[in-house]
Amino acid sequence: MSEEARRNDGDNDGPVEEELEESFDAVVTEGAERLHRTVRAVIVTGLFGGLEVALGVMAYLAVLDETDSHLLAGLAFGIGLVAIYLAHSELFTEDFLMPVAAVVSRDGTPAQLAKLWVGTLLANLVGGWGVMWLVAQAFPQWLMVLSESAHHFVDAPLNTQSICLAILGGSTMTLLTRMQQGTTSDVARIIAAMAAGFLLAGLQLFHSILDSLLIFGAIHAGAEVDYRQWIEWFGYTVGFNIIGGVMLVTVLRLVRTKELVKEERRS
- Provide the pLDDT for residue 7: 41
- Provide the pLDDT for residue 12: 53
200/221 Cα distance (integer angstroms): 23
197/192 Cα distance (integer angstroms): 9
- Provide the pLDDT for residue 194: 95
- Provide the pLDDT for residue 149: 96
Strand stretches in 91-166, DSSP E? none
Show pLDDT as tens, one digit a residue, over the chain (267 residues).
Answer: 333 443 444 455 555 566 667 777 778 888 899 999 999 999 999 999 999 999 999 999 999 999 999 999 999 999 999 999 998 888 998 888 899 999 998 888 999 999 999 999 999 999 999 999 999 999 999 999 999 999 999 999 999 999 999 999 999 999 998 888 878 899 999 999 999 999 999 999 999 999 999 999 999 999 999 999 999 999 999 999 999 999 999 888 888 888 887 887 777
**Residues 6 or more apart whose Cβ sits within 8 Å of residue 210:** 53, 56, 57, 77, 200, 201
- Provide the pLDDT for residue 21: 74
Asked if residues 206 and 240 have their Cβ atoms less than 8 Å apart, the reply is: yes
238/117 Cα distance (integer angstroms): 11
- Provide the pLDDT for residue 259: 85
**Residues 6 or more apart whose Cβ sits within 8 Å of residue 150:** 214, 215, 217, 218, 219, 223, 225
Give Cα separations from 144 to 43, 95, 206, 234 (angstroms).
33, 33, 20, 22
112/245 Cα distance (integer angstroms): 18
